[in-house]
Amino acid sequence: MTQAASAADVQEMAGVVRYALLGPRGAVHLLQGRHRQLLLNETQVLIRPKASEEERRLVGATATQRLLGLYTEEERTIPLIRIFAGEVMETGFDPSDVAYHELGHRIFGLPHDRAERVAMFGLPEVVPHEHLRDVKDPSSGERCSICLLHRRAAELVMLLEGLRLRSQLQHGLPLGAGGTIPQARGLALAMQEQLPEIDEMIPGRTGQIRMMSHQLDEVLDALDGWVTPEQVSAAHAAAYRAWDPSWDLNHVYWLRVKHGVAA
């Protein structure tokens, strides 16, 4: 049985969820008109330490299933999104994704079996990644390879961040995602192909480069075949982890080569 989260955990998760929904790059900025008003003025979001037995019964959760969030709408009360911090922490799921998922029920009236159907049938628009190797990158003539790697890492994170938010909010990949996913895969493949050159450019950083290669493999695996919102979230997390060493490699290269500073 899941343990209840502490008061500090609940407070911290409440801040994360609020930022995900209302922050500078939050869900509120994707919504227009009536949908935006539903989030701002007609939806209550509550972070609970754990799900009660009554809440679990509402969705028919079994003893082994974890209930991460719940959306309910009752007469004479404001519609309520509940997020259960203990279950979210136990599973390692991103609380922002849980918030987006439950908001999709509120804003778009999506049925609770939508995510299951998406996971089962996948996304037919996905383009096989084998065709991406022949796509020419107009920026490939850039002289600084480490700068190009760093920029590609940032582009990969931003592509997947936008797709992650939308796919969780809509309980499935939005129309046009068949174009975003090949772009993301293409960036990850291009970065993988650069790594041997980067290893030669920055001696002594092989461990970081191997780590980045492993993380890019995770991105490619998550975006292979039929892609679900959960896979997009996993790809985004791996891309973000790959972005971090790209900062360090860029920093070290410029200190050593351009400024003559040991690093």
Element (H, E) at 71: strand 69-72
pLDDT tens digits, one per residue of 124-148: 333 333 333 333 343 444 467 888 8
Confidence at residue 261, expressed as pLDDT on a 0 to 100 scale: 58
| Cα dihedral sign, 228-243-142-200 | negative
Judgement on whether residues 29 and 137 belong to the same structural domain of the protein: no
Tell me which of 67, 83, 112 is where a domain ends: 112
Tell me which of 84, 112, 140 is where a domain ends: 112
Single-letter residue type at 125 = E
Confidence at residue 260, expressed as pLDDT on a 0 to 100 scale: 62
1 domain-assigned:
no
Structural domain boundaries enclosing 236: 123-258
Is the predicted pLDDT of residue 123 greater than 80, yes or no?
Answer: no
Instruction: Report pTM.
Output: 0.72
Structural tokens at position 171:
């309980």
Q: How far apart are CA 246 and CA 151, in angstroms?
A: 9
Cβ–Cβ < 8 Å for 17, 95: yes
Region 90-106: mean pLDDT is 91
pLDDT tens digits, one per residue of 193-208: 999 999 888 888 899 9
3-class state of residue 128 by DSSP: coil
Region 153-170: mean pLDDT is 92
Is the predicted pLDDT of residue 122 greater than 80, yes or no?
Answer: no
Is the predicted pLDDT of residue 160 greater than 60, yes or no?
Answer: yes
Judgement on whether residues 105 and 136 belong to the same structural domain of the protein: no
Q: How far apart are CA 231 and CA 219, in angstroms?
A: 9
Q: What is the DSSP letter of 83?
A: E
Is the predicted pLDDT of residue 59 greater than 90, yes or no?
Answer: no
Is the predicted pLDDT of residue 37 greater than 50, yes or no?
Answer: yes
How far apart, in Å, are the Cα atoms of 212 and each of 13, 37, 108, 122, 255?
A: 29, 42, 38, 28, 20
Cβ–Cβ < 8 Å for 98, 88: yes
Q: How far apart are CA 112 and CA 59, in angstroms?
A: 9
Tell me which of 82, 112, 142 is where a domain ends: 112
Q: How far apart are CA 88 and CA 20, in angstroms?
A: 15
Is the predicted pLDDT of residue 248 greater than 90, yes or no?
Answer: no
13 domain-assigned:
yes
Judgement on whether residues 92 and 137 belong to the same structural domain of the protein: no
39 domain-assigned:
yes
Q: How far apart are CA 96 and CA 17, in angstroms?
A: 5
118 domain-assigned:
no
Region 40-52: mean pLDDT is 94
Q: What is the DSSP letter of 24?
A: T
Confidence band, pLDDT 50/70/90 cuts, at residue 103? very high
Region 182-189: mean pLDDT is 94
Element (H, E) at 36: helix 33-41
Confidence at residue 143, expressed as pLDDT on a 0 to 100 scale: 61
